[in-house]
Structure 1
Amino acid sequence: MSPAAPASLQLRPAVESDLAAIHALYAVEVREHLATYEYDVPDLAEMHRRWRVIVDAGYPYLVAECGGAFAGYAYATSYRTRIGYRWTVENSVYIEPAFHGRGIGRALMLRLIDDCTALGFRQMVAVIGDGSNAASMALHERLGFKLAGVFHGLGRKHGRWLDTVQMLRPLGDGNFGEPDENVPGLK
């Protein structure tokens, strides 16, 4: 069972002034970990560009603060760019190591799921880099994601071939009924 998030936890849309903290957390992930298969840390200008593309397209991009300190972030974006995928989003969630195991990832994901459902999206995909990331897979499973597939040796980083896990969770009516044609997204 996941721990309850701290009472001082605040979730809100990310703003430009959050990008330095987002960049610093992501830089550690790129350099040291396997959640992303990116090799080179993008500079702050590139992180700003990526954030702007996501929010300008209408996708949610959230920040968690705990006791006034940056604790992590999560966002959703297009799973694929082809038009037939426009009702499917891919999530990303990153938590500061000092805040691991405190329910912050769960809180961010619940808010992201709610926001994406309210926007009319029908499916959410978790693409989990490094098939041995048990914590991420357990978090997603507790939130209703089901294993959709494992791509063995799909990526390579830090001198290792890595599996990529994809998990899927329906949003709203999922793949039943007619979807809203006016969902936000990349155009």
Structure 2
Amino acid sequence: MPELTIRAAVAADLPAITAIYEEAVLHGTATFEIEPPNLAEMTRRYEALASAGFPYFVAVDGDQVLGYAYAGSYRPRIAYRFTVENSIYLAPAAQRRGIGSRLLATLIESCAAKGFRQMVAVIGDSANAGSIAVHRNAGFEMVGTNPNVGFKFGRWLDTVSMQKALGDGGETLP
């Protein structure tokens, strides 16, 4: 039986990534998108991150993509250039198996190596205990909650902000 591997995502992974994200959009509250983006849009998003030098990883078992994680710009203004926001999505069958934690650890290591100093997680739905725990276990601290900022599935949803210093964080100049 193949062993779980975390590796850089490639274009051939995008159909599986698109399917995982579609499931999250249609059935979950981790993302506030309502309509799942198609493969062309997911490819555009992937290429934008890759061309900007941001890390994008997949967790694979053999040739099956079980989940993915990436970091992107936290905000577009130049002063935020040392801060990234992370995203992690798993196929339903891959949840609660430690895969999200492994993806996040790889992402943190990669972002620190690239010189980023802060990583922010904006977690959709304050009831998303799994994602909050994965981030807490990786050393993220709770920054705050924005109550009732999203509306999906007929109810209001919060976002939870968590943050982790990378490398020297804000202790030294970049």
TM-score range, shorter chain: over 0.9
Unaligned residue ranges in structure 1 (runs of 5+): 1-5, 180-187
Query: Which residue is 2:54 aligned to?
Result: 59
Q: TM-score, normalised by structure 2?
A: 0.97
What amino acid maps onto 1:82 in structure 2? R
Q: TM-score, normalised by structure 1?
A: 0.91
Query: Which residue is 2:146 aligned to?
Result: 151
Q: How many Å separate the matches in 1 of 2:89 and 2:33? A: 15
Query: Which residue is 2:66 aligned to?
Result: 71
Q: Give the secondary-structure state (helix, strand or coil) at the position aligned to 2:47.
A: helix
Q: How many Å separate the matches in 2 of 1:12 and 1:48? A: 18
User: How many residue pairs are counted as aligned between the two chains?
Assistant: 174
Query: Which residue is 2:38 aligned to?
Result: 43
What amino acid maps onto 1:51 in structure 2? Y
Q: Map Cα deviations across residues 81-133 of structure 1 (whole Å, 9 max, x no partner).
A: 00010100000001111111211111100000000000000000010001100
Matched, 1:105 2:115: no
Q: How many Å separate the matches in 1 of 2:127 and 2:97? A: 21
Q: How many Å separate the matches in 1 of 2:89 and 2:128? A: 13
What amino acid maps onto 1:25 in structure 2? I
Give the drift of 1:35. Answer: 0.5
What amino acid maps onto 2:38 in structure 1? D
Give the drift of 1:68. Answer: 3.2
Q: How many Å separate the matches in 2 of 1:112 and 1:168? A: 14
Matched, 1:117 2:109: no
Query: Which residue is 2:165 aligned to?
Result: 170
The CA RMSD measured in Å over matched residues stands at: 1.2
Query: Which residue is 2:89 aligned to?
Result: 94
Give the drift of 1:7. Answer: 7.8
Query: Which residue is 1:30 aligned to?
Result: 25
Q: 1:17 aligns with which of 6, 9, 12?
A: 12
Query: Which residue is 2:127 aligned to?
Result: 132
